[in-house]
Amino acid sequence: MRSRSPLLVAVALAVYAFLYLPLAIVVVYSFNDSRLNAEWVGFTLDWYRKLFADDDMLAAARNSLVIGLVASLVATVLGTMAGIALHRYRLRLLPLLVFAPIAIPEILMGVSLLIFFVLLNFTLGLVSVAIAHIAFCIGFVAIVVRARMAGMDEALVEAARDCGATPWQAFRHVTLPLIMPGVIAGALMAFTLSIDDFVITFFTAGAGTVTLPLQIYSMIKIAVTPEVNAVSTLLMLLTLLLIVVASRLSPSLLRSQEEAPT
């Protein structure tokens, strides 16, 4: 272990505070018995009660859930295929198409899909949003699955094939079980990305469809209200849960590299 000067520790602690203080304030004020997010008055659950009586918010939550489930399901299937393909074959076009949506500014994808859907007379709504979410989630699933494939012994598949398994059987009974943690982690990640997405949804949802982030956006555009704190707190809890589960299943989500030999 190398030296950790007190100054370094102090700066790092300050940065952690910078990361967490704002979110902590959102959570604390969601229980505050005051319309103003200014000072602590007293404990209340009123904002949560108001939240669960807010039909617009509930409809938005329902939309987000439906889009998230559909998008993560399809993106997981396609992303897993892409991840396997990227690991096994030397391809030119696929890597470009898988990683480009991650590398370019989000807004570009949002507006190009808007033009695309409108020119095709495709009604903007739940379906167009789900299609857009699938497109940007595939890459994230593919990355996680490819990492898992890299840690897998391909000789096992060869052995299964030599014992007479068809390619499908070898995939179903050897490859898939081995990469399953990566697949599930990818699915959870895709679900989280979909639930959280604002920019691409903003352009592809059209006027009539509202998701949770869009609802939050229109609320905070007008005024700050503790109801937003309440929905934010619940959303953070959900994301936290999903990410903790995902990172348990696929530690590579957290480590930016394999354990270095010591």
Partner 1 sequence: MAADARRHEAARARWLVSGPPLLYLLVFFAAPTLIMVLASFRSPGEFGGLAPLRDDTGALDLNVDAYVRFFTETVYAQVFVKSLVFALVTTLVCLALAYPLAALIARSPKKSRDILLLLVILPFWSNFLIRIYAWMILLGPNAALARAVNGVLGWFGAGPVPLLFSSFAVLVCLVYVHLPFMVLPLYANLEKHDPALLDAAQDLGASAWQRFWRITFPLSLPGVYAGAALVFIPALGIFAIPDLLGGPDDTLIGNLIKQQFLETRDWPFGSVLSIVLTVSALALVGLAAWLGRGATRGAERVGA
Q: What is the signed CA dihedral for 210, 214, 216, 220, rounded to 10 degrees?
A: -120
The rounded radius of gyration (Å) of the Cα atoms in the chain is 22
- Can residue 121 be called a binding residue for partner 1 (CB under 8 A)? no
Q: Which of 6, 18, 53, 155 binds partner 1 (CB under 8 A)?
A: 18
Q: How far is the CB of 33 from partner 1 (least distance, A)?
A: 15
All residues at 6 or more sequence positions from 93 whose CB lies less than 8 Å from its CB, including other chains: none
In the complex with partner 1, the residue whose CB is nearer, 46 or 106, is 106
Instruction: Please state, in angstroms and as integers, the Cα–Cα distance from residue 262 to each residue in 2, 113, 147, 188, 258, following that order.
Output: 14, 48, 22, 32, 12
Which residues between 240 and 259 bind partner 1 (CB under 8 A)?
A: 240, 243, 247, 251, 254-257
Which residues between 213 and 232 bind partner 1 (CB under 8 A)?
A: 213, 216-217, 220-221, 224, 228-229, 232
Q: Which of 84, 143, 183, 190 binds partner 1 (CB under 8 A)?
A: 84
Q: Which of 15, 45, 58, 176 binds partner 1 (CB under 8 A)?
A: 15
Q: How far is the CB of 32 from partner 1 (least distance, A)?
A: 11
Nearest to 82 by CA among 215, 190, 165: 190
In the complex with partner 1, the residue whose CB is nearer, 5 or 43, is 5
Instruction: Please state, in angstroms and as integers, the Cα–Cα distance from residue 3 to each residue in 57, 151, 223, following that order.
Output: 51, 33, 48
Residue type, 15: V
Which residues between 155 and 214 bind partner 1 (CB under 8 A)?
A: 167, 192, 196, 198-199, 202-203, 212-213
The angle, 0 to 180 degrees and rounded to 10, between the axes of the packed helices 176-196 and 226-249 is: 170
Backbone torsions φ then ψ of 234, nearest 5 degrees: -65, -40
Q: How many CA atoms lie within 13 A of 199 on its CB side?
A: 11
Q: How far is the CB of 134 from partner 1 (least distance, A)?
A: 7
Q: Which of 114, 124, 149, 200 binds partner 1 (CB under 8 A)?
A: 114
Helix (H, G, I), strand (E, B) or coil at 106: helix
Stretch that binds partner 1, among 29-37, 47-55, 148-156, 176-184 (CB under 8 A): 29-37
Q: Which of 58, 107, 156, 159 binds partner 1 (CB under 8 A)?
A: 107
Q: Which of 79, 140, 191, 227 binds partner 1 (CB under 8 A)?
A: 79
Contact string (CB under 8 A) for partner 1, positions 46-75, x = contact: ------------------------------
- Can residue 140 be called a binding residue for partner 1 (CB under 8 A)? no
Give the integer Cα–Cα distance in Å for 161 and 169.
9
